[in-house]
Amino acid sequence: MNIEQALHQRSESKCELCAATDNLHIYEVPPSSNGSAEESVLLCASCSEQIDNPDKLEVHHWRCLNDSMWSPVVAVQVLAWRMLTRLRAEPWAQDLLDMLYLDDDSLAWAQATGEGTEDEEVVKHLDSHGAVLTAGDTVTLIKDLNVKGAGFTAKRGTAVRGISLVADNPQQIEGRINGQQIVILCKFVKKAI
């Protein structure tokens, strides 16, 4: 049985991270996979693209780790650890990371790509009261905002549903008001409970 067959058998022909069944391919776990089944996983195109390109990260895609991090396959645990580490500004990701136990050898492997070792602070987006904002939250405006270029004023108290976070700027979120996607300063919103 070759590696590909072994991986298909192990995974039941599903992406070992998100269980997708399309566009599967062998992914050799960086940085130094020997190409064996133990050091490879079967991934869908979406998972491997996001692993290799941090700027393509779709946060909610990785909710799948809630299941796949419990895989008995160490290579899968290692990838789960790396992605949860990358996502740990999200409370759910930090929670999963806290539950994901790797033995010393596996942890060393997981850390071998440098994920999580850069000592930059995790960027947190805080609302006007210091509550942590996460993608998908609903917030309300705490003051009237003049929306530049759009020609309207967003009134205080307006609810903005399903916000997204501006990744490289902890002062800003994005949300849709009057059908327009706009950037909003975190200090002008309050997270809806």
Q: Which residues are at the interface with Zn ion (CB under 5 A)?
A: 15, 17-18, 20, 44, 47
CB of 51 to Zn ion, least distance (A): 9
CB of 44 to Zn ion, least distance (A): 3
**Closer residue to Zn ion, CB minimum distance, 76 or 186:** 76
**Closer residue to Zn ion, CB minimum distance, 7 or 18:** 18
Largest CA distance in the chain: 66
CB of 58 to Zn ion, least distance (A): 11
CB of 61 to Zn ion, least distance (A): 8
**Closer residue to Zn ion, CB minimum distance, 41 or 163:** 41
**Closer residue to Zn ion, CB minimum distance, 47 or 154:** 47
